[in-house]
Amino acid sequence: MSHTLGIRQAQKQKTRQALLDAALQLLEEQSLSSLGLREVTRAVGVAPTAFYRHFRDMADLGVALVEEALSSLHTTLVALLAATGDSEGDDEGEERIAATVELIVAYVRTHPAHVRFIAREQHGGVQAVRSAIGDQLTLFAREVKDQFAREPESAGWDEDDLLMLARMYVDHMVMTASALLEASPDTEERVAASARRQLRLVSLGRRHWLDER
């Protein structure tokens, strides 16, 4: 009996993932608010009624896509920040800057459809999806803030200023990902170089922020 249940659960998960993958592919050329449920189920080859075994509606599917697109980055980002947080002989944070931009470049290369979805729906017409993206980016910012708080450069900073700095860092990542998505192979390095320069400005501002207070 348990074996049969296991097979059914695996099949259910397979269908759910197929719906997500089909929707993501269809969203390459349109927004979520214009995508119909029947388009998605037709692409997968299941009846429309089967959709409701996995998602309440298209907004619910969109929220699942947000989680798929962004949640996997959390562990990678926090690990990167921790690994580059106190690099001896790296007073200007060059290791972190380079690693951050490399992470964004790699993610855009391997997940362009996810990046395009987030870039389009961050200010799109489906409120639940906008909120989910905002929640994920807020979580990113809080994780970045927590890491920054453990570093010597943050001595004397208050919580609000650290969170402001973290939000700048996260917003920069999103902006860079969007720019890389539109870049050609010939201009990708130019976008990456610009991103590194911008992060140097953030790093420089962080080191001298308390001098102005």
pLDDT digit string, tens, across residues 118-163: 999 999 999 999 999 999 999 999 999 999 999 988 889 999 999 9
Residue 1 pLDDT grade (very low, low, confident, very high; cuts 50, 70, 90) = low
Q: What is the 3-state secondary structure (H, E, C) of 160-171?
A: HHHHHHHHHHHH
Measured over the CA atoms of residue 72, residue 73, residue 75 and residue 79, the dihedral's sign is positive
- Any long-range contacts for 75-80 (C-beta under 8 Å, 24+ apart)? 76/103, 77/103, 77/140, 77/143, 77/144, 78/143, 78/147
Q: Is 52 exposed, middle or buried (0-12, 13-18, 19+ CB in 10 A)?
A: exposed
For the chain, the average pLDDT equals 90
Structure-token pair, residue 189: 């390095």
- pLDDT tier for residue 208 given thresholds of 50, 70 and 90: confident
Q: Pick 204 or 192 by higher pLDDT.
A: 192
| CA torsion through residues 129, 135, 139, 142, sign | positive
pTM: 0.89
Please give the biggest Cα pair distance in the chain: 69
* Residue 40 vs residues 2, 21, 24, 55, 147: alpha-carbon distances, Å: 31, 9, 9, 12, 40
Tell me the percentage of the chain whose pLDDT exceeds 90.
74
